[in-house]
Copies of this chain bind each other. A is one copy, B any other.
């Protein structure tokens, strides 16, 4: 039995949106999977009743506290020992659940990832990543998208390997094309960081390095399945896409496959990669649909055995 934990108290519209999303996901997850809800038991059961959903479809781990967006993440994680996030990570650490997802405090989720679950041995810096849609039909993985804003080349090189393993095992892309985001196609282009990373990645031999990818091709899918960049650049890309999505939506221009795929609700949250268990962080404003996608993505990551594959790759 695969157990997927969800912070029922996480997100701007929790617990309603979280629980409703869990109900949606419960109809789609595997017969061998179960969703474990962490949060206010009474409120969760009331929402389930409102959805006419039998409570025994879920496992509920009652918690009494919530880490709020305004809380100091590290302090709150410790002090609110009975918060849904803290308890969720305790369960994840002892393998009582095989993945944990939350649309709550990103900071607290990172504290749990780094301090309770901990980086996989050999990984210098875990990363947060994002799936971006492409017109080629399959998504590309962009990493880092905001965790490590100043990256040494060896960190970016590791992101190439982490991304390649994710794309192959979770996205099912055989021999994924890994590129470094750069401002020209030629090897000699770029800033000091991207040039040094290019050199290391080219020499790595651990993944299918295809060279530089320019940002004009992030969404074309023509060049790369895995796009490596520092967290500053990745965050700029992500937020720019969000901004243009909103503008295009206001103009009524999102009624097509590409822009629909740009909707974060379908993306399934931001995987934290390089720590010892599947952790996914959702957008604060997650709707039930977004929560559903995040749960399915967490289940998928756990099923794919990503953590074990990463451990194996980095024990060499």
Q: Among residues 246 to 260 in chain A, which have CB atoms less than 8 Å away from a CB atom of chain B?
A: 246-248, 250-251, 253, 256, 258-259
Q: Is the CB of B243 within 8 A of A183?
A: no
Encoded as 1 (CB less than 8 Å from any B CB) or 0, chain A from 178 to 207 comes to 000101000000111010000000000000
**A206-241, CB under 8 A of B: which get 1 and which 0?**
000000001111111000000000111101110111
Whether B256 contacts A251 by the Cβ 8 Å rule is yes
Judging by beta carbons under 8 Å apart, are A183 and B149 in contact? yes
Q: What residues of B have a CB within 8 angstroms of the CB of A244 in the complex?
A: 219, 241, 244
A305: interface (CB < 8 Å): no
Count of chain A residues near B, Cβ 8 A = 39
The chain B residue sitting closest to A135, CB to CB, is B247
Is B216 a contact of A146 with CB atoms below 8 Å?
A: no
Q: How many copies does the complex hold?
A: 2
Give the distance in Å from the alpha carbon of A253 to the alpha carbon of B236 in the complex.
23
Chain B neighbourhood of A259, CB < 8 A: 248, 251, 253
Contact check, B256 vs A146: say whether CB atoms are below 8 A apart. Answer: no
A150 at the interface (CB under 8 A from B): yes
Residues of B within 8 A of A218 (CB): 240, 243
**Which residues on B sit within 8 Å (CB–CB) of A251?**
256, 258-259
A212 to chain B, nearest CB (A): 12
Measured CB to CB, the nearest residue on chain B to A151 is B191
CB closest chain-B residue, reference A250: B135
With A217-B243, A232-B233: A150-B253 Cβ-Cβ less than 8 Å:
no
What separation, in Å, do the CA atoms of A256 and B254 have in the docked complex? 13
**A242, CB-defined interface residue at 8 Å:** yes
Contact across chains for B191 and A232 when beta carbons are under 8 A apart: yes
Complex-state Cα separation, A241 to B248, whole angstroms: 13
Give complex CA distance A219, B245 in Å: 11
Contacts of A240 in B (CB 8 A): 215-216, 218, 237, 240-241
Tell me whether A232 and B183 are in contact (CB under 8 A): yes
Closest B residue to A149 by beta carbon equals B191
The answer on a CB contact under 8 Å between B191 and A219 is: no
Given A183-B232, A233-B232, A248-B253: A192 and B150 interface contact (C-beta under 8 Å) = yes
Looking at the complex, which one of B149, B190, B246, B256 makes contact with A253 (CB distance below 8 Å)? B256
Among all A-B residue pairs, the 7 with the closest Cβ atoms: A216-B243, A215-B240, A149-B191, A183-B235, A216-B239, A215-B239, A215-B236
A-B contact pairs, 19 of them (CB 8 A): A135-B250, A149-B183, A183-B235, A183-B236, A190-B232, A191-B230, A214-B239, A215-B240, A216-B239, A216-B240, A216-B243, A218-B243, A220-B243, A220-B247, A232-B233, A236-B236, A240-B241, A241-B244, A253-B256
